[in-house]
Structures are given as structure tokens and as C-alpha cells.
A and B are shown apart, each in its own frame.
Chain A
Amino acid sequence: MLTAILVMTGIAIVLGTALGYASIRFKVEGDPLVEKIDAILPQTQCGQCGYPGCKPYAQAISNGEADINQCPPGGEEGIRKLADLLGREVKPLSEEHGTEKPKSVARIDEQVCIGCTLCIQACPVDAIVGAAKQMHTVVAPLCTGCELCVAPCPVDCISMVPVAATVETWKWKYPVHELRSAA
């Protein structure tokens, strides 16, 4: 009896020490889960999820405050990846946060722009250049299509233009199957 207790205690001490050492030795810096979630998010920084940017949303998902289906730009695939990462069920995009749209970029109608700089302040990725009372323009390759600049414009001169396929971005389609008959 005594031997058994001693052996068990001994094992507990040894293993406890090993675990304690391991947790110090292999301590993970930062919160890698937030980084991983953030890497999946499209970085549109549009705030449609209800958080001021992708990183805060990633933080919220990681804390369990937000669901994984609140990111319209990430779309279904983004949700699937998040579900994979977090081991959760895939669910459809939450409608209150918006719908998946084709990738667009903002375009400023330069005839109408009055140079108020409101859109420049709204842009989360500094993709609009211009100065007060000077015409503004969108640097299209940097635009994430978040639409945050559309609402602040006092003269409604910003529109979202879908990105057209070029030879560089054109993709082959998924091959069509004809296996299933109309049953």
C-alpha cells in the first residue's frame, strides 16, 4: 500500500516537473490563433462584421465573442476555412452582415469630386490620394473594395466598379460534370 502511494506520488512529481518545465521551455509567444484567423480573413478592413477591422474580428472570434460567419468579403470559402481551423460547423453567411459580392474597387468620379478629404480619412488602407480642395483618386491596386469611402462622400461621387478579368487574372472554370441525371 505504502509502496503504491510512494510510486504514484513519485510519478506525479516527475511528470508534473516535466510538464511544468515543458510549459516554460516551449511557451508560445503571443496568441497564434488570432494570427491564424487573421491570416484567413480577407483583410478588406470593411468592418461589415461589426468590428473595426479584420484583426479585431479575429480577436473576437478567438475570444468566442463573434461567430465565424460574419465576414461577407471572405465569403463561403472563408467561413469554410475558419470552420476547418477552429473545428466548428460550416454555416451560411450571416445575412445581417451583408452578402458576398464580386470583387470591386472604388472609383471616384473626378468631375464631381470637391476635394473634401472625407473619403481619404475613411479609407482603412490609405488607398485614396488627394488633398483638401484637390481632386482625389483611388489607387486601384491597393483598394480592398471595403466600400467605407462610399457613404462619407458628400457629393456621391464614389462608385464601386467590379474588377474585370484580364489575361493575367483570368481563370479556368471548374470542369462541369454530367454524372447525375435529373432525378
Chain B
Amino acid sequence: MITRLFSFKGGVKPESHKNESSGTPILTAPLPKRLVIPLRQSIRSTARCLVEPGQKVLKGEHIGEGEGGLGTSVHASTSGTVVEIASYPMAHASGLETLSVVIEPDGEDRWIDHTSLDLRTVSREEALAWLRGCGIVGMGGAGFPTHVKLGGGRGIDTLVINGAECEPWITCDDRLMRERAPDVLSGAMILRELIGAKRVLVGIEDNKPEAIAAMQTAASGLGDDVAVVPVPTLYPAGGEKQLIRVLTGVEIPQGKLGTDFGVQCFNVGTANAVHRAIRFGEPLVSRVVTLTGNVARPGNYEVLLGTQVSELLALAGPKADTDRYIMGGPMMGTELQSLSVPVTKGTNCIIAASPALFPPPPPELPCIRCGACARACPADLQPFELYWFSRAKNFGKAQEYHLFDCIECGCCAFVCPSRIPLVDYYRFAKGEIWARERERQASDQARERFEFRNYRQEREKEEKAAKLAAKAAETRAKLAESGEAPAPPAEAEDPKKALVAAALARAKQQQAAVMPKNTDGLSADVQAEIADIEARREKLNPQDADKAP
């Protein structure tokens, strides 16, 4: 199959630094002393905990049940005892904590019973549920649940398998493709079947000739519509939208899914995980992580999810002048605020940084509108305009200039001669816009509820008034029946007053029964005056009137 390659505008060519860690085979990391497995493994969803402290678990045992549309299952990475369920810091720029299950391994690493799934005997929905149960999420970093992505629809023309790995330093996908090419392609075939794609394109940057060769060998027996395509090395060719553009020419705008354009894209790590999940029934409990940078023994390790970075780093031996650690690549990764954070499904790389390898940026200078950022932007944005707007907190304008099309790849900040932390401004502006959106929704809700409450109070008042009026009318009717003079009609207009008057009349009646006779036989004028006084007295003390009957 001959594939015509397309290109995207912009992009940068940072030094690749792949050779440091790509030379050695993937080693299995030793069993850590303890595992901290966050229940939040997929984007925007925290799983519900299924275990209790003290409980024994086996490797692959279900410990967290996914909740909501974006939830996936979480599993124990090894056999052992649950010692704690508590909040631990997670690998996130905020450094916030999340509920995690702490497991003390028993050293046996004993698997729970698991069997393969025969795709021919199950429906598509069952297969997707199976993947959800195995906790499969995108392993390129974002952690989007694979079953949700697959659920997007059938009738997909092209399945893109992303082996570009465009970020410098990272080599985990490279090693995975070199060593487990048949597994990755087997996973790709399963994904293809699930979405009914006509062709499969595996995109690999051409700076990984060994991986390309291995994948091409493995793909040779799979037919003409499976192709391993070397793509030019240009960051961010591994961005999902960029790779789809390069391989198929399709441009997917922000807010749209590949499904709408007949293309879907999965990472090679995800394909491998899908292969393990379907062919062996193994849930996702480990992944390949690159340890590199300022370390003595850079390389790739098969790491159990939940292994804390501090334990992992000992394998690579960070050098003395290491001053911080970056999770992910140097273009889009985050600095770790704590070494106790665990490896999660999206952790592809940990880089030990030293001032020599990653020098702190020189002081920021004003923007000179040179346009270098616009030429580097793979989303064809005008980054400096977005910078001006974000800096001035003119968020409306920033959105008008398509702030949300920004993929935060960092190309603009990479080339900026004034060394402005451009991406920070976009992150800030996006966060503020989201916060404002949330606030707006909350205030709309509050306004609605407030207005409803006012309406309800008004209605209750009216209802009460109507009830009182009805009661007053009833009392009056009763009084009329017993031959007493009805209350003055003027007062009857106000139900409360009428009621008071009625109560008064009743009291008078009672009074008449027990009163000494010396109040008898008074003139009508005097009686009316007394009634008025009584009414005023009642008005001052309305509760009494209410209670009167």
C-alpha cells in the first residue's frame, strides 16, 4: 500500500536525545516495597474503591470500579495486602492529592485467574465492556478511556496507530515496538475489528529505524491494508491530530472527534494493552516507563502501576547534580513536586533534570512580535496575539482567536527569542475561562433557584391568604346561621381582618355567656367602639388571633 504523506504547518526540531535510553532492552523493574495505586487513572473520573484495609488481593484483582461515562476499572498491580486507603499526591501540575489504595506486596506476584476473550463469540458492546473492565485507557499520556473512544462508532475508514513518539528523551514506545511488534500489531488488529476500519496506518518517526523495521517485519503477513509508515521527524508529529494529518491529510478541528472524519488514533502502548486484555484477559497493571536524563543507567523498565517514582529512580541512579524530575517529555511534561507520586497508566517517562541538561530560561524580555511562534505553531494559531490577550486577561478576545485550538505543545515557547513562557499564559487563560464558565453556570443556577424561591414564597403567601379567606367566610357563615350579626363588610375584604373580626365575634358570644350583666344594654355606638379597641388589640398581637379558633 502506497501512502502519500501530508504535512502540518509549523513544528520544531529539538535535539532528540533518544540514544541515551533506546539502546538497552526493556527490563522488568523489581517488585517495589509498596504500591500506591490512585483510584483516579482515567481522565476526569475517579473509581469507586472496592477493597478495605487489611484485605488480601491478587495481581489483577479489581480494586476500583469505574464511575460515570469516562470511568474505567482499577486493578491491583501485584498480590499482597491492602494496608491503607488514603489520599496521596498524584502526578499533576497542581500537586494535589487523590484517593489511592496502598498495597504491600507479598512478593509472590500471583495473578488472579484470567482467561482470554474470543472476539468471535461476543458482541461489540461486550468487547468494549471487557476493555473497560480491564482498565484500558490511552497510554500516550492523556488517559482517555479506550472503550469510550472505540464506542464512537463503526464505519471508520482508517485506524492510525501512533508510534511517532515525537517528544525528546522518551523511548518507551520505541523499545515496545522493537521488542513486541507482533503484540502491538495484534492489538491494532483487535482495535481495527472493533471499529471496522478498512486500513491500518502505523506512523513512526523516521528517527527510529529499528522500530520501523521490526514493525514492518511483523506487519508483512497482515495484508496490504496494514502499513507501517515512517513519518518525518518533526515535533509534534506524535500529536494525535498532527499524526492523522500527516498520514491521511484529514484535519480534525478542536472539539471534533476523529470518528466524525472516519479516522481514529491509538497509541502503540494502548494497542499492546488491548492485546494483553483480549488475548490473555490481563487487566492493565504495568507499563513501560523510560528513565532517562541525568542518570547513570538510562533505560526502559516494565513498571507496575503504583510504583512510586522514588523507588523507580533508584534503578537508574540519578547523578548528584540532579535538581528536579520531569514526568513526561521536556516539551509537555510536568515537574514532579514530590517523588512519592506513583506511576500511572499515562506515565511514559521520568527525566532527571540537571541545570546542565535543562538550563533555567534566561530572563524574559518583551514580545517583539517577530512571529517565530506563529511559524512554529502546529495549530496555525497566532501565539503572540493569544499571549497579549491572555496576559491582559482579555479572555473573550483570546477565545475569539481560537485559544482552545492550542494543544499546549510548547513549540511557541521553544522558539521564542524573548523567552516568554507562552504556554503558561495559555494554561492560565484556559483555566480562567473554564472557571468562569463554571461560575456562570453556578450563578445561573443560583439565579433560577432564587427566582423560584421568591415565586414559591409569593405563591405560599397567596395560598395562605386564600385559605384564611375561606376560613373566614366559613366562620361568617356559621355565625350567620346562629343568628349573630355578620362582621362589618368593609373588614371582610381582608381575610385576616375578617378572621380577627370573626374571632372577636366569637369571643363576644362567649363573653356574652359569662359576662356580668353590667356591660349589657350598652348603646350600639359604645359597643362598636369596644369592638374597635378589641380589633386594634388583636392586630398588635396577630398570633393570638390565629390561635383564637
Min CB distance A84 to B, Å, is 11
Indicate if B432 sits at the interface (CB-CB under 8 A): yes
Listed by A's residue number, 10 A-B pairs whose Cβ atoms lie within 8 Å are A42-B439, A54-B450, A125-B446, A166-B96, A167-B40, A169-B438, A174-B428, A175-B421, A178-B364, A179-B364
B94 A126 Cβ-Cβ under 8 A: no
A53 proximity list for chain B (CB < 8 A): 450, 454
- Contact residues of B between 436 and 484, Cβ < 8 Å to A: 438-439, 442-447, 449-454
A43-B446 in contact given A170-B94, A172-B93 (Cβ < 8 Å): yes
Q: How many residues of B contact A (CB 8 A)?
A: 35
For the complex, what is the distance from the CA of A42 to the CA of B447, rounded to whole Å?
A: 9
A43 B364 Cβ-Cβ under 8 A: no
A43 B428 Cβ-Cβ under 8 A: no
Indicate if A27 sits at the interface (CB-CB under 8 A): no
Indicate if B9 sits at the interface (CB-CB under 8 A): no
A43-B98 in contact given A172-B93, A175-B428 (Cβ < 8 Å): no
A171 B446 Cβ-Cβ under 8 A: no
A124 B428 Cβ-Cβ under 8 A: no
A133 proximity list for chain B (CB < 8 A): none
Q: Mark B30-56, 1 if CB is under 8 A from A, else 0.
A: 000000000010001000000000000
A175 B453 Cβ-Cβ under 8 A: no
The residues of A with any CB-CB pair to B shorter than 8 Å are 38, 41-45, 53-55, 124-127, 142, 144, 165-175, 177-179
Extra A-B contacts (13), CB below 8 Å, given A43-B442, A125-B449, A175-B425: A43-B446, A43-B447, A45-B450, A55-B450, A124-B453, A126-B449, A142-B446, A144-B446, A167-B92, A167-B94, A167-B96, A169-B438, A172-B427
B364 A54 Cβ-Cβ under 8 A: no
B489 proximity list for chain A (CB < 8 A): none
A171 B431 Cβ-Cβ under 8 A: yes
A125-B94 in contact given A169-B435, A171-B432, A178-B364 (Cβ < 8 Å): no
For the complex, what is the distance from the CA of A166 to the CA of B96, rounded to whole Å?
A: 7
For the complex, what is the distance from the CA of A124 to the CA of B430, rounded to whole Å?
A: 32
Min CB distance A31 to B, Å, is 16
B421 A171 Cβ-Cβ under 8 A: no
A43 B444 Cβ-Cβ under 8 A: yes
B44 A168 Cβ-Cβ under 8 A: yes
B449 A127 Cβ-Cβ under 8 A: yes
Min CB distance A158 to B, Å, is 18
B491 proximity list for chain A (CB < 8 A): none
From B444, which residue of chain A is reached at the shortest CB distance? A43
From A125, which residue of chain B is reached at the shortest CB distance? B449
**What is the total of A-B residue contacts with beta carbons within 8 Å?**
74
B443 proximity list for chain A (CB < 8 A): 41-43, 144
From A73, which residue of chain B is reached at the shortest CB distance? B443
**What are the 5 A-B residue pairs with the smallest beta carbon separation, nearest first?**
A171-B431, A43-B443, A172-B427, A43-B446, A125-B449
User: Looking at chain B's contact residues, is the secondary structure mostly helix, strand, loop, or mixed?
Assistant: helix
For the complex, what is the distance from the CA of A169 to the CA of B449, rounded to whole Å?
A: 23
For the complex, what is the distance from the CA of A178 to the CA of B362, rounded to whole Å?
A: 11
A179 proximity list for chain B (CB < 8 A): 364, 366
A142 B98 Cβ-Cβ under 8 A: no
For the complex, what is the distance from the CA of A45 to the CA of B428, rounded to whole Å?
A: 29
- Contact residues of B between 344 and 398, Cβ < 8 Å to A: 363-364, 366
Min CB distance B45 to A, Å, is 10
For the complex, what is the distance from the CA of A128 to the CA of B96, rounded to whole Å?
A: 29
Min CB distance A183 to B, Å, is 16
From B428, which residue of chain A is reached at the shortest CB distance? A172
A44-B446 in contact given A172-B424, A175-B428 (Cβ < 8 Å): yes
For the complex, what is the distance from the CA of A125 to the CA of B449, rounded to whole Å?
A: 5
For the complex, what is the distance from the CA of A127 to the CA of B452, rounded to whole Å?
A: 12
For the complex, what is the distance from the CA of A179 to the CA of B438, rounded to whole Å?
A: 33
Q: Mark B408-433, 1 if CB is under 8 A from A, else 0.
A: 00000000000001001101101110
A178 B363 Cβ-Cβ under 8 A: yes
A43 proximity list for chain B (CB < 8 A): 442-444, 446-447, 450
For the complex, what is the distance from the CA of A68 to the CA of B439, rounded to whole Å?
A: 20
From B424, which residue of chain A is reached at the shortest CB distance? A175
A178 proximity list for chain B (CB < 8 A): 363-364
B446 A45 Cβ-Cβ under 8 A: yes
A171 B435 Cβ-Cβ under 8 A: yes
B98 proximity list for chain A (CB < 8 A): 167
A173 B446 Cβ-Cβ under 8 A: no
Min CB distance B202 to A, Å, is 33
A165 B94 Cβ-Cβ under 8 A: yes
- Contact residues of B between 493 and 516, Cβ < 8 Å to A: none
A172 proximity list for chain B (CB < 8 A): 93, 424, 427-428, 430-431
B96 A125 Cβ-Cβ under 8 A: no
B452 A126 Cβ-Cβ under 8 A: yes
For the complex, what is the distance from the CA of A131 to the CA of B232, rounded to whole Å?
A: 68
A125 B453 Cβ-Cβ under 8 A: yes
B446 proximity list for chain A (CB < 8 A): 43-45, 125, 142, 144
From A74, which residue of chain B is reached at the shortest CB distance? B443
Min CB distance A102 to B, Å, is 13
From B427, which residue of chain A is reached at the shortest CB distance? A172
A173 proximity list for chain B (CB < 8 A): 428
- Contact residues of B between 89 and 140, Cβ < 8 Å to A: 90, 92-94, 96, 98
Min CB distance B505 to A, Å, is 33
A55 proximity list for chain B (CB < 8 A): 447, 450-451
A126 proximity list for chain B (CB < 8 A): 449, 452-453
B438 proximity list for chain A (CB < 8 A): 169
Min CB distance B483 to A, Å, is 41
From B426, which residue of chain A is reached at the shortest CB distance? A172
Q: Which residue in B96, B430, B452 is a CB contact (below 8 Å) of A170?
A: B96
For the complex, what is the distance from the CA of A167 to the CA of B366, rounded to whole Å?
A: 32
From B422, which residue of chain A is reached at the shortest CB distance? A175
